[in-house]
Amino acid sequence: MKKIFTLFLMLSNIACFAQDSLYVRKMVNTLASASFWGRGYTKDGMKKTADFLSAAYKNIGLLPMGTDFKQEFAYPVNTFPGKMFVAINGKKLMPGRDFIVNNESAGIRQKGSLEKVDSLNFIAHPNLRIQLKDKLTWSVATTVAQETTIEINRKNFKEIPKEISVDIENKFIENFRASNICGWIKGTKQPDSMLIITAHYDHLGGMGADTYFPGANDNAAGVATLLSLAKYYKAHPQPYSIGFICFAGEEAGLLGSRYFVENPPIPLSKIKFLINLDLVGTGESGMTVVNASVYPKAFSLLNEINQEQKLISKINSRGKAANSDHYFFTEKGVPAFFIYTQGGPAAYHDIFDKAETLPLTEYHDLFKLIVGFNQRIME
């Protein structure tokens, strides 16, 4: 009978993880779809995502940290909602694949000759610059420059740029409204102690009316893993309270997490440890932990659990870095790790970071590692 019961538990766990895999995959597919338009600044991408995540929190059964799941704030951002036309030497280029417009660029409409500065840089007076690049990597700007810079993928366009025709529309929004999505599950024994899981849900949005940046690995995968953990902890209440925060404004400079830390809906002193998930959709080459050397005992514990359960192939240690939403928490004295995985597709801040090519290699093992780590922290 004992063997049958053990087999039943094993089969139940397999079914549970299979179900979680389907849920996580569905979430990544949804968040990286055109419906949310890069979870950014045009076509209401970020607002639609915030509404979607608030509904997901409610459906899971989380409690809001304040009066609502949304913690609203605002910041300036340069956007590109409309025209995005570039032709070099009479050849029309495709946005995202053949060129990107620098995120700080002003809108421009111009035709003319290009003057060579060096082998990689060309200009057209008065304020237009062309740069040849091996990889097109986009980002988000909170200011507008006087100059317009267009980066050309030199792998797709191998001619010397001589003539240009450009028609690009930008719109600077001085007070873009965004929301962090904050929820929690009350602890059963020490509810005033809290463990936090975080992930930013914003990405780069769209560049022009027809091109968007899906952001499957960055960071739909992190949000999907967070939601999966929220489902697990709702079904398995813990001694400590467990919090879940999806940040906006990360790509614009960690603005959402900074706002949360400066305007905390809960006392930061209650947070005993925070795990931030960003770029966790791969893992065949292992994972890296930022702040590992800052909190060596916690990192040793993480490694111990990993070795006991034979989960992630390799865990790399990294020191302090202001490269994701853990940073401002650490600056305020909240112990925190930032976890990201490695290997697999190299797409990053480009149009190729798609759900269909994201393997989610180590989702199960990362899930088990986080649950095991949090369990040991609460002992």
Q: Give residue-wise pLDDT tens across range 74-100.
A: 999 999 999 999 999 999 999 999 999
- Of the candidates 39, 75, 126, the one whose C-alpha atom is nearest the C-alpha of residue 256 is 75
The answer to whether 234 and 241 are in contact (CB under 8 A) is no
Cα(217)–Cα(340) distance, rounded to whole angstroms? 10
> Any residues with CB less than 8 A from the CB of 188 and at least 6 apart, and which?
237, 238, 239
Phi, psi (rounded to 5 degrees) for 290: -75, 140
What is the C-alpha radius of gyration for the chain, rounded to an integer number of angstroms? 22
For tokens 């267009």, the residue is 150
| b/e sequence 309-335, b meaning 16+ C-beta within 10 Å | eebbbebeebeeeeebbbbbbbeeebb
Q: What is the pLDDT of residues 291-345, one digit of tens each?
A: 999 999 999 999 999 999 999 999 999 999 999 999 999 999 999 999 999 999 9
Structure confidence at residue 172 (pLDDT) = 98
Which residues, in sequence order, are bridge partners of residue 131? 121, 151
Return the sign of the alpha-carbon dihedral for residues 109, 115, 119, 121: negative
Q: What is the pLDDT of residues 177-188, one digit of tens each?
A: 999 999 999 999
For tokens 């209650």, the residue is 270
Q: What is the pLDDT of residues 132-180, one digit of tens each?
A: 999 999 999 999 999 999 999 999 999 999 999 999 999 999 999 999 9
